[in-house]
Homo-oligomer: A and B are copies of this chain.
Amino acid sequence: MTARVYVSPKKTVLDPQGQTIRAALQGRGYASVGNVRQGKVFEVEVSGDPAQARKDLEEIARTILANPVIEEYRVEWPEN
Protein backbone atom coordinates (compact mmCIF):
# COMPACT_ATOMS: atom_id res chain seq x y z
CA MET A 1 0.00 0.00 0.00
CA THR A 2 1.41 3.37 -1.01
CA ALA A 3 0.61 6.54 0.89
CA ARG A 4 1.54 10.07 -0.06
CA VAL A 5 2.86 12.70 2.30
CA TYR A 6 2.64 16.28 1.04
CA VAL A 7 4.87 18.86 2.69
CA SER A 8 4.56 22.51 1.77
CA PRO A 9 5.70 25.80 3.27
CA LYS A 10 3.12 27.40 5.57
CA LYS A 11 1.13 30.19 3.96
CA THR A 12 2.75 32.65 6.33
CA VAL A 13 6.29 31.64 5.39
CA LEU A 14 8.11 33.15 2.42
CA ASP A 15 8.69 30.68 -0.39
CA PRO A 16 11.60 32.01 -2.44
CA GLN A 17 11.58 29.01 -4.80
CA GLY A 18 7.93 29.62 -5.62
CA GLN A 19 8.52 33.34 -6.12
CA THR A 20 11.40 32.62 -8.49
CA ILE A 21 9.29 30.21 -10.52
CA ARG A 22 6.46 32.74 -10.69
CA ALA A 23 8.82 35.46 -11.93
CA ALA A 24 10.32 33.11 -14.52
CA LEU A 25 6.89 32.06 -15.82
CA GLN A 26 5.69 35.63 -16.09
CA GLY A 27 8.91 36.56 -17.85
CA ARG A 28 8.18 33.84 -20.39
CA GLY A 29 4.80 35.34 -21.15
CA TYR A 30 2.49 33.23 -18.98
CA ALA A 31 0.62 36.27 -17.72
CA SER A 32 -2.23 34.28 -16.18
CA VAL A 33 0.02 32.67 -13.59
CA GLY A 34 -0.30 34.04 -10.07
CA ASN A 35 1.27 32.80 -6.89
CA VAL A 36 3.36 29.64 -7.04
CA ARG A 37 4.35 27.61 -4.00
CA GLN A 38 6.71 24.67 -4.17
CA GLY A 39 6.44 21.75 -1.83
CA LYS A 40 7.58 18.16 -1.57
CA VAL A 41 5.73 14.91 -1.96
CA PHE A 42 6.86 11.57 -0.55
CA GLU A 43 5.44 8.33 -1.88
CA VAL A 44 5.89 5.81 0.88
CA GLU A 45 5.17 2.08 0.57
CA VAL A 46 4.04 0.58 3.83
CA SER A 47 3.14 -2.96 4.80
CA GLY A 48 1.76 -4.72 7.86
CA ASP A 49 -1.13 -3.72 10.08
CA PRO A 50 -2.98 -0.77 8.45
CA ALA A 51 -3.82 0.93 11.74
CA GLN A 52 -0.21 0.76 12.90
CA ALA A 53 1.01 1.91 9.47
CA ARG A 54 -1.22 4.99 9.65
CA LYS A 55 0.01 5.80 13.12
CA ASP A 56 3.63 5.32 12.08
CA LEU A 57 3.32 7.39 8.94
CA GLU A 58 1.60 10.26 10.74
CA GLU A 59 4.49 10.28 13.22
CA ILE A 60 7.08 10.04 10.42
CA ALA A 61 5.47 12.95 8.58
CA ARG A 62 5.27 15.14 11.66
CA THR A 63 8.69 14.44 13.12
CA ILE A 64 10.91 13.59 10.15
CA LEU A 65 9.57 14.57 6.74
CA ALA A 66 8.17 17.97 7.68
CA ASN A 67 9.53 20.78 9.79
CA PRO A 68 6.39 21.83 11.66
CA VAL A 69 7.82 25.26 12.45
CA ILE A 70 7.73 26.38 8.83
CA GLU A 71 5.94 23.61 6.97
CA GLU A 72 2.55 21.98 6.95
CA TYR A 73 1.94 18.38 5.91
CA ARG A 74 -0.89 16.16 4.78
CA VAL A 75 -0.93 12.37 4.62
CA GLU A 76 -3.12 10.82 1.90
CA TRP A 77 -4.05 7.16 1.72
CA PRO A 78 -5.19 5.53 -1.50
CA GLU A 79 -8.53 4.37 -0.05
CA ASN A 80 -9.56 7.92 0.88
Q: Could you list which residues of chain A lie within 8 angstroms of chain B, going by C-beta atoms?
A: 6, 8, 18, 21, 24-25, 28, 30-49, 52-53, 56, 60, 64-65
Shortest Cβ distance from A15 into chain B, in angstroms? 9
**Assembly of this chain: how many copies?**
2
Residues of B within 8 A of A60 (CB): 25, 30, 33
Are the C-beta atoms of B8 and A32 separated by less than 8 Å?
no
Shortest Cβ distance from A59 into chain B, in angstroms? 8
Are the C-beta atoms of B40 and A39 separated by less than 8 Å?
yes
- Given the interface pairs A30-B56, A30-B60, the reply to whether A43 lies near B36 with Cβ below 8 Å is yes
- Given the interface pairs A33-B56, A56-B33, A60-B25, the reply to whether A41 lies near B43 with Cβ below 8 Å is no
